[in-house]
Amino acid sequence: MAQEWNDFRRALRSCDREAFDSLVNRARMHASAATYAIRLDPTESALLSMLLEHEKELLSLKRKLEAGERGDGGSGDGVG
């Protein structure tokens, strides 16, 4: 998949290339799971892997934010 998207990557600005490379690397993290989903198109598997990694990161950030709010007095509103 990464080779198929090389032309797209080359057309991106350098700051966007870094983000694109990060997404592709996230997809590679779940390549073994993608082999079990033989009915999925390889691009679909890569996109699902990227979404999974983003969701994990969002959940981690949410937990940290909630823990910080509890540390501020436990009101949950960030005040006090």
- In this prediction the pTM is 0.58
Query: CA neighbours within 13 Å on the CB side: how many for 52?
Result: 16
Reported as a single tens digit per residue, the pLDDT across 6-42 is 888 999 999 899 888 888 888 888 777 777 766 778 7
d(CA 2, CA 34): 15
- What are the domain boundaries of the chain? 6-70
Assess whether pLDDT exceeds 50 at residue 80: no
